[in-house]
Chain A
């Protein structure tokens, strides 16, 4: 995806991760800004299904040719699915960071944590302020 985009229906974490909330569950991924900063993703090392993730803590790594980057959990919960297609095609994280490049699905342990996340407008303001 060549152009920056930040869909309105997602919630954002300041470490450049997004969450798509679906009741008691959520899908996580990294933002357009994160994949652009990293460059072409060549390896995603997923967590185990059933693993617990904690908001604001690293739960996985994405790697470009030159760099390793931690992926932070925007919310707490238990991993119920990982995107297995990324094993062979990690570049989907670059091509479609909010769609086919999703990373994991999580059953949320505390849905009220959602209130602390940023909406698309606030996240873009954060990017502009730090840029």
Chain B
């Protein structure tokens, strides 16, 4: 065990991970399971059955009060007033110059009550940003990280497995519901970050192990952060720190759909009329090899850089996300990726790189 291990934080499910044979690694200050039996097996389990991810390292910020909505409207790029009762919404948090501080899901829990989920590495920064901008709003910003464990149950069979344990109807996609799971009170959210159907469970920390055990009993497979990364990459969901950073704005990252400039959020003015020189695109190799973060890209319109790269377990080819000159961003454009000195042929593709096989009648993705 590395010397830093004793300073790493552990989730309430740490002991369950050890029992399940996890390989635990440092991640954003936490000791987290990167894999159990193998990234590919866990990836396939989520695409074909049901898997569960402990994402308790992710942070939560609770914003409450008569002007909580107005405060969030100022901070978040999306139109917060459009979040339905018990609804969910994706947005980014921007600096005044448009640089991305984080990407977030926010949930409207009730009248003047919101919960926003942060990336672990950004939680303290986000919290300080929320508080620094709360002056003048009749709203309270609370660090709720310690209040919640979070378990993402994902896959085509995830809902069916959850239904057998749930003491009420599961929420529809992008909705939440307060219902017990395995007898433990949960805030169940119809969200996830794998492209598959499923739910994310917000659980009081001391109740999390019982929920985990019950899901395991139902045949839901533990899946680690390694599979979480390959799953989100196949469906082209952004990962902060890779595809998003303070040096990039959401327009070049292809997130203009969640930037509602007329809401007056911080950064909106800087993003008006932005015509980005570079654009984030998905790509796939047309030959062997695996792209990795930081690999340089050559196109006829100039250079670019890979921000996420992996082997796609479903497509069985190298895939990634990359910033390329906007003139070379059209699907079908041939590009070249420099993988540690070897030039590999690749092609810009449409999103998503892999389309999950949804069951008939199921509503569409994010």
Contact = CB atoms under 8 A, between A and B. Distances in A.
A43 B288 contact: yes
Interface in A61-75: 61, 63-66, 68
Given A39-B39, A40-B39, A68 B310 contact: no
Contact of A39 (B35, B43, B310): B35
Interface in A43-98: 43, 45, 61, 63-66, 68, 87
Nearest to A37: B23
Contact of A68 (B39, B230, B288, B292): B292
A42 interface: yes
A65 B292 contact: no
Contacts of B40: 40, 42, 65
A40 B310 CA distance: 13
A9 to B, nearest CB: 29
Given A65-B230, A68-B292, A43 B311 contact: yes
A39 B226 CA distance: 11
Contacts of A45: 288-289, 342
Interface residues of B, number: 19
Q: Which of B229, B292, B311, B342 has its CB near the most chain A CB atoms (within 10 A)?
A: B311
A66 B229 contact: yes
Interface in B284-318: 288-290, 292, 310-311, 313
B38 interface: yes
Contacts of B23: 39
Given A42-B290, A43-B289, A63 B311 contact: yes
Interface size class of A (residues with CB under 8 A): 10 to 19
A65 B289 contact: no
B94 interface: no
Contacts of A87: 288
A66 B310 contact: yes
B34 interface: yes
Q: Which of A43, A63, A66 has its CB near the most chain B CB atoms (within 10 A)?
A: A66
A6 B260 CA distance: 61
A93 to B, nearest CB: 14
A40 B230 CA distance: 14
Contacts of B311: 42-43, 63, 65
Given A39-B39, A40-B40, A42-B40, A66 B34 contact: yes
A130 B230 CA distance: 31
A65 B39 contact: yes
Contact of B226 (A42, A43, A61, A66): A66
A67 B204 CA distance: 35
B320 to A, nearest CB: 13
B207 to A, nearest CB: 31
A66 B233 CA distance: 12
Contacts of A61: 340
Contacts of B226: 65-66
A35 to B, nearest CB: 12
A61 B230 CA distance: 21
Nearest to A63: B290
B39 A66 contact: yes
A64 B38 CA distance: 10
Nearest to B1: A131
A61 B340 CA distance: 10
B38 A39 contact: yes
B225 to A, nearest CB: 9
Contacts of A66: 34, 39, 226, 229, 310
Contacts of A65: 39-40, 43, 226, 230, 310-311, 313
Q: What 8 A-B pairs have minimum CB-CB distances, sorted nearest first?
A: A65-B39, A42-B311, A40-B38, A66-B226, A65-B311, A63-B290, A43-B290, A40-B40
13 contacts: A39-B35, A39-B38, A40-B38, A40-B39, A42-B290, A43-B288, A43-B311, A45-B342, A63-B290, A65-B230, A66-B39, A66-B229, A68-B340
